[in-house]
Amino acid sequence: MFSKWRCLGSLALLLLVGLALILPLWYLHGRPAPLPVRQTVRRGVEYRRIVRLTPRPMIIHVLTIDMRTNGLNFLVTPPDDLGSDLPLRGRTTSQFLEQFNLDIAVNGDGCRPWWSRSPLDYYPKEGDLVAPRGRAASRGRVYWRTDLPTPTLYISSRNRLSFDAPAQPYNAISGEERLLINGSIVENLNATDVHPRTAVGYSKNGRYLYLVVVDGRQPLYSEGITLHELAELMLSLGAYDAMNLDGGGSSTMVIRDADGRPRVLNSPIDQYIPGRERVVCNHLGIYFRR
């Protein structure tokens, strides 16, 4: 009898050990490993994965782009219909990168109409008509104007970056709020609400562009970041001016992999489903002349 119970105890122990090994692998399946990474994606582009455990689990993805890199070009999602009240068709960030043959892409502005009630009841779906919340321009075509007090990043035809509106915008993409202005954190940023976030910023001399995505809503993996923490993060990376783009389930960072296919660098969380990309309104894309 003793031998029988000892055998059962050994089996139970093996089962517990197996579960201890299998459950983390299952939970992390399809997500970037929670390990620090620093690598050159291509000439002029560095990728960093930063892992933090305090004040909560947090996985941060950073692309640093040298604006002096030869062949560097930008593209904000172009309109599908310039004369429409809903000038864009919804796409995921991966679809945007693939359709326009880009090398890097992140989600951009929020959109209208928009709702997300369940995995079956949401808008937009792929191809649905939408409009951005803030001002938008693509390659010299200003396709959306608004009176909403949303910040806008302007990128000239010569790749100059500014939050000050030019007379004739070339590429323009808007966000939710400014994080940094002239090297200082904006006052009264929310310091309690924790979400996935996407941010864009640039160094004081305009040489470096920082694209940042922080994963969130994924307990024990990455819970997210507050706006004030995001501003501190952008400042620590070297940004002088920065803004928060659309976040939550929209936050997505994609590059073109060595095999030519889109590779999602982060773990999107649309509808609270890890790895599921959300169809969004517009995007900020980068490509290099080949």
The string of DSSP letters for 243-267 reads EE-S-GGG--EEEE-TTSSEEE-S-
| Tens digits of residue pLDDT in 182-201 | 999 999 999 999 999 999 99
Query: Please, is 206 exposed, middle or buried when counting C-beta atoms within 10 Å of its C-beta (0-12, 13-18, 19+)?
Result: middle
Residue 18 pLDDT more than 60? no
Q: What pLDDT is recorded for position 13?
A: 62
User: Which of 205, 199, 188, 201 is closest to 241 using CA atoms?
Assistant: 201
pLDDT band (50, 70, 90) for residue 289:
confident
Residue spans of alpha helices (H) in the chain: 2-28, 93-99, 227-237
d(CA 125, CA 122): 7
Kindly report the number of other CB atoms within 10 A of residue 106's CB atom: 30
283: exposed, middle or buried (Cβ count in 10 Å: 0-12, 13-18, 19+): buried
Q: Kindly report the pTM of this predicted structure.
A: 0.90
- Distance between CA atoms of residues 231 and 242, nearest Å: 8
pLDDT of residue 145: 93
Residues 114-128, mean pLDDT to the nearest whole number: 94
| 137 in Cβ contact with 170 (< 8 Å) | yes
Q: pLDDT tens across 131-153, in order?
A: 999 999 999 999 999 988 999 99
